Amino acid sequence: MNVQTDLKRTRQLPLLLVLVFSLFVACMTADMVNPVLHLIRKDFGASEAGAGWVVSGVLLVIAIGVPIYGRISDFFSIRKLYAFALLIFAAGSLVCAAAPTLPILVGGRMLQGAGSAAVPVLSVIAVSQVLPSGSRGAALGLLAGSIGLGTAAGPIFGGLVGQIFGWPSLFWLTLALLLALVPCALYVLPGGAGTGTPEESRLDLPGGILFGLAAGLFLFGVTQGQTEGFRSPASWGSLSGACLLTAAFIRRIFTAEHPFVPPALFADKSYSAAVWVGFFTMFAYVSSLVFVPLLVVEVNGLSPAAAGLVLLPGAAAVAVFSPAAGRLSDRIGVKIPVTAGLSLMGISLLFISTFAAGSSPLLAATGMLGLGLGVAFTNSPANNAAANTLGDEQVGAGLGIFQGALFLGAGTGASVIGAFLAARKEDAQGALNPFYVLDAAPYSDAFLAIAAAVVIALVFSAGLQSGRPK
C-alpha cells in the first residue's frame, strides 16, 4: 500500500486530536518544572546551576533531536516512529518520577527530550502529508495553538500541582497521559513509508552527527553563558566549537552524495526567511514566558502559582487565534499575517517595557495578551510558509530544520535574556527605555531587548513569499 492510499483512509479529526494533545503534553512537560526548581534543589541539596540542568538538559536534547527525527521520517513509517518516540518519552517520565538523585533526574529529563523531540516535527509532517498546500493552514494553526498553550500552561500546571502534591507527581501524570496516547497514535497516524525514493532517503550519518553536535554545543554554550558568563571557558569554548562544527556541516552538505539537509533548501529565500522568523518569534515568546512571572514574583511579590496566572491571557490568545491565523494565511498568503503578528508582538513588548515592569500585574497580563495574539498570527503562518516551499522529498529535512529552529530560539532566548538581565541588575544603571519612569529598570531593559529580537524577525519576514500558496 502506498503512502497516498493510506493517507486517504486517515480520519483527519481523530488525527488532529491526537496530534494536538500530544503537542500540548510535550510542550507543557518541557517547562513544567520551572516553578518547582526550588523544591528539587531542596530535596537533592543541589546548587542553582545543577538544578538548572533539569530545564536546560531537556531543551538541549530537543533542539538536537527535532531535525534528526524530521530527516529519518523520510524513510520510516510516521506511525511507528511517533509511537516509538512516545514510549521513549514515557520511559523518561518514569525515570524522572522515581529518580533518587539529581543526576538520574537530569538523565530522565534528557530521555524525555529524546522522545518529545519527535512530537512537533512529526505532527507537522503528518499534517503536511494529509492535507495539500493551500488547505492546511487551519490544521497547522491548531498545532501552533497547542504549542503556545502547552508552553504557557507548563509553569501554571507545575506551580499548582507540584506545590500541592510534590514535584514527582508531575512526571507520574505525564507518564499516564503518554501511555494513553501511544495506542491512539498507532490507530490514527499514517502508516506508509517515507515520501522519498530509496536513494533520496539514504541517511547521511556523518552530516547528522555534525548537525547534532553543532546545535548541542551552541545551546550548551549559551546556557553556560547565562550561569557562568559568556567570557567563561565553558561558554566561549562551546560556542567556538559550535562555529567550527557548523562550518564542517555546511561543507558536508555541499560535498556528500546524499546530504543530511539538501543545500537547495537554503537557496529558497522564503524558506530561509520562515526559519529565521520562527527562531526569533520563539526567542521572544519563551523569554517573555520566563521573565514575566519572574518580574511579578520579584517586584510585585506574587506567589509562583499566582504569577503563572499572569500568563493565561496570552496562552488563551495563542490557542484561540492560531487556527484562524492559519486559515487566513491559506486565503491571503503568509506575509501579511506574519508582519501584523510581529508588529503586535513588538508593540506589546514595548508596552511591558514602558508601563508594566514594576507596575500592576494586570498590566503585565495585558501585555502578555497582546503578545499571545501576535504569536498566534506569526507562528502558524510561518509554519505554513515553511511547509508550502517544500517538495515531497524535502518535507522531513525541511520541517525538521524549521521546528529545530523554534526550539533553538526558545533555549537561546531564555539564556541570553537571563544573562542580559543579570548584567543590568549588576550595573544598577537607569533604564535604556527613555520613556520608562518606574523602579524596575533591569526588567524594562530585558523586555526592550526582547522587542529588539522581534524587530530582527520583522526584517527577515520581508523575504516571505507574498500571495496565496499555489
pLDDT tens readout for residues 406-457 = 888 888 888 888 889 888 888 878 899 999 989 899 999 999 999 999 999 9
Q: Is the dihedral of CA 80, 82, 84, 86 positive or negative?
A: negative
Q: Single out the residue of 274, 285, 283 nearest to residue 401, CA to CA.
A: 274
**Residues whose CB falls within 8 Å of the CB of residue 199, separated by 6 or more in sequence, listed in order:** 258
Kindly state the cell numbers that stand for 207: 552530516
Q: What angle do the packed helices 37-44 and 102-116 form, to 10 degrees? A: 140
Express each pLDDT in 357-376 by its tens digit.
Answer: 989 999 999 999 999 999 99
Geometric angle at alpha carbon 183, from 189 and 1, rounded to 5°: 35
**pLDDT surpasses 90 at 396:** no
| Higher-scoring residue by pLDDT: 235, 378 | 378
Q: Is the dihedral of CA 231, 233, 234, 240 positive or negative?
A: positive
Specify the residue for cell string 545551546.
Answer: 219
- pLDDT mean over 32-44: 83
Which SS3 state, helix, strand or coil, does residue 384 take?
A: helix
Report in angstroms the alpha-carbon separations of 250 from 109, 255, 342.
30, 9, 30
Residue 427 CA to chain centroid, in angstroms? 31
- pLDDT mean over 166-189: 92
Specify the residue for cell string 504569536.
Answer: 375
**pLDDT surpasses 70 at 44:** yes
Residue 33, phi then psi, degrees to nearest 5: -85, -10
As a whole number of angstroms, the distance between CA 151 and CA 89 comes to: 17
Express each pLDDT in 104-125 by its tens digit.
Answer: 999 999 999 999 999 988 988 8
Q: Single out the residue of 274, 63, 292, 279 nearest to residue 156, CA to CA.
A: 292
Longest dimension (CA), the chain: 67
As a whole number of angstroms, the distance between CA 356 and CA 362 comes to: 8
As a whole number of angstroms, the distance between CA 317 and CA 366 comes to: 11
Residue 73, phi then psi, degrees to nearest 5: -65, -15
Residue 343's pLDDT band (cuts 50, 70, 90): very high
pTM: 0.83
Residue 392's pLDDT band (cuts 50, 70, 90): low
Q: Single out the residue of 115, 120, 99 nearest to residue 19, CA to CA.
A: 120
Chain mean pLDDT for the chain: 84
Specify the residue for cell string 512529526.
Answer: 122
**Residues whose CB falls within 8 Å of the CB of residue 22, separated by 6 or more in sequence, listed in order:** 82, 86, 119, 123, 181, 185
As a whole number of angstroms, the distance between CA 253 and CA 202 comes to: 13
| Lowest mean per-residue pLDDT among 87-101, 139-153, 438-452 | 139-153
